[in-house]
Amino acid sequence: MKKWIISILGSVFMGAGILTGCSLQEDETTEVELAEVTRSIFYAPLYVALENGYFEEENLNINLTTTWGGDKTMTALLSDGADVALVGAETSIYVNAQDPAEPIINFAMLTRTDGTFLMAREEPENFEWEDLKGKTFLGQRKGGMPQMTGEYVLKQNNIDPQEDLDLIQNIDFANISNAFASGTGNYVQLFEPQATQFEQEGLAHIVASFGEESGSLPYTVFMAEESFFEDDKEAAERFTRAIYKAQQWVYSASPDEIAEVLAPYFDDTPEDIIADSAARYRDQQSYAETPLLPESAWDNLQNIMDEAGELPERSDYEQYVDTEIAESVIDE
């Protein structure tokens, strides 16, 4: 369980309600403070909703802040620095297990698989998971979803991460790709666009997808404190409707069209790499096609956390997942 959860909860109990305030009429604009855990092509539908004006169509003004880490994201949410957080669903499980002043409710799923890929320094003729045994594997942070999913997939393929690998997982997330590029490790677990960039530069080769191997998960979810829905459920519905429009658009647009929309959010990434990365995620259905978080995905998430020894307790789907909003938006 995350040690940072205890410090987060200790710092937020003096919070006094959410920023959006009382419910507004449909013709008035609602300000929503949104904290995203990182900036990623993995979150393409969010940027589409912003850039294509879907939030504006719903009379929402979204103030987006990148908080760079699950701990900082949850601190922002619990201390009223954000109305809505975009972060892994596992963080809500960690926090809710500590009996916060208000429960954290997951209400709209953005990504439905793991977003990392297994990269090999040397291109194999025919990749087999057995190839990893005895090799140095540059993994993700212990207790985070990328690492938990990675270890789950390795075990499903008869690889014991602790016994069969020289496992390195003490490198900061932002420095993992640089460490591998500098010569550390035989294999690495990376998100896009680093995976595509490394392939184009000849630094590594994608040999497997952890998203395809691990199945459906509520990997990244929009969540809020319970009072957000009590004070302004209409805003939550409008927010979800905008996300749903973006999800539909992502699955109907061409990769080049997606790249053009996402480009302002990734100044240092060429549009062809954005297009290839978005297409790869879409092809393996990493982007959720609807905001509805199914119970089967919630259970799969907890099974993976349990397998990793990180699940504090089983989290009740009906208590901590609001499906009513997503179902209403989808049925319109």
Q: What is the pLDDT of residues 258-309, one digit of tens each?
A: 999 999 999 999 999 999 999 999 999 999 999 999 999 999 999 999 999 9
> Would you call 264 helix, strand, or coil by DSSP?
helix
Mean pLDDT, range 50-72, rounded to an integer: 97
Q: Is the pLDDT of residue 15 over 50?
A: no
Mean pLDDT, range 239-259, rounded to an integer: 98
Mean pLDDT, range 26-54, rounded to an integer: 94
Q: Across all residues in the chain, what is the average pLDDT?
A: 92
What is the per-residue pLDDT for 293? 98
Domain boundary assignment for the chain? 4-113+217-331, 116-214
Architecture of domain 116-214: 3-Layer(aba) Sandwich (3.40)
Q: Is the pLDDT of residue 110 over 50?
A: yes
Q: What is the pLDDT of residues 139-170, one digit of tens each?
A: 988 888 999 999 999 999 999 999 999 999 88
Q: Is the pLDDT of residue 51 over 90?
A: yes
Q: Give the tokens for residue 329.
A: 């938006």
Distances (CA, A) of 308 to 85, 154, 155, 270, 305: 24, 12, 10, 36, 5
Mean pLDDT, range 102-130, rounded to an integer: 97
What is the per-residue pLDDT for 14? 42
d(CA 332, CA 326): 10
Q: Is the pLDDT of residue 3 over 50?
A: yes
What is the per-residue pLDDT for 296? 97
Percent of the chain with pLDDT over 70: 92
Q: Is the pLDDT of residue 190 over 50?
A: yes
What is the per-residue pLDDT for 13? 43
> Would you call 174 helix, strand, or coil by DSSP?
helix
Fold category of 4-113+217-331 in CATH: D-Maltodextrin-Binding Protein; domain 2 (3.40.190)
> Do 4-113+217-331 and 116-214 have matching folds?
yes
Burial of 25 (0-12, 13-18, 19+ CB in 10 A): exposed
What is the per-residue pLDDT for 1? 54
Q: Is the pLDDT of residue 249 over 50?
A: yes
What is the per-residue pLDDT for 153? 97
What is the per-residue pLDDT for 21? 42
E runs forming strands in the chain: 30-36, 60-66, 84-87, 104-111, 116-120, 136-138, 166-168, 187-191, 205-209, 220-225
